[in-house]
Amino acid sequence: MTALRPRLYVAHPIVTYGTARERHCLDALRSILPDVELYDPAGRYSTNAAWRRAWPRVLKTLSGLVVFTSHDGTIGAGCMRELIDALVRNLPIAGLEEGMLHEIDAVRFLAPRRLTACRTGRLVLGDQIDPGEFVARAALGSRSSTRAAQRQSAPWLARTALRIGGQTVSPNRLPGAPHTPDPYLSPDIT
């Protein structure tokens, strides 16, 4: 019996598609994560609507997510959605910077006057993650459908937060996380 290779989604802004930055980051990921299947969305979808239709099906097949930013350190609304959806599913996530994987400590939204669909926020990267450990966590998630196993596959998830309007909003309503009402989220979201 052959083991399933973890399938990692490579989230990155549309403005990086077909650029030297994209090639450099994908080459780095292939080098540090040789035993995984990388799912790169670039060139797969002809429109944003096609991506939105396909995304829920793709998400169900993933073992983890790695994101890298554009040259100015920003990500767009699509990357933001991919990251949030991966967090909600308790998938292991990581940011790629200078050829190394890092924990994602927060996402800071840009000021409203600077927001565009392609420039929505900045990643705040934390400690470096061992690639072998990240792959092991992703493999655990790909073999098990239990929420407990998925939670164990992303221990840094509890430290990940979104910065909104200068306030930090933690993903405290994820499956298995203790509920702490968040005054920044409306009741229908929490």
Mean of pLDDT values over 10-27: 95
Every domain of the chain and the residues it spans: 7-169
CB 135 within 8 A of CB 33: yes
Most distant CA pair in the chain: distance in Å? 55
How far is residue 162's CA from residue 164's CA, in Å, rounded to a whole number?
6
- State yes or no: pLDDT of 164 exceeds 70: no
Q: How far apart, in Å, are the Cα atoms of 71 and each of 27, 154, 171? A: 16, 27, 27
Structure confidence at residue 111 (pLDDT): 86
The pLDDT value given to residue 142: 52
Task: Give pLDDT tens digits for 39-49.
Answer: 999 989 888 89
Within 13 Å, how many C-alpha atoms sit on residue 75's CB side? 27
In this prediction, residue 18 has a pLDDT band, given cuts at 50, 70 and 90, of: very high
User: What is the per-residue pLDDT for 48?
Assistant: 85
Residue 161 has pLDDT above 90, yes or no: no
**What's the confidence (pLDDT) of residue 178?**
40
Residue 116's pLDDT is what? 82
7-169: in CATH 1.10.4030:
no
State the pLDDT at residue 154. Answer: 42
- d(CA 110, CA 102) in angstroms, rounded, equals 21
> Mind giving me the DSSP string for the chain?
-PPPPPEEEEE--GGGTTSHHHHHHHHHHHHH-TTSEEE--TTT-SSHHHHHHHHHHHHHT-SEEEE---TTSEE-HHHHHHHHHHHHTT--EEEEETTEEEEEEEEEEPPGGG--SS--EEEEEEEE--HHHHHHHHHHHHH---HHHHHHT-GGGGG-EEEETTEEE--TTSTTSPP---TTS-TTT-
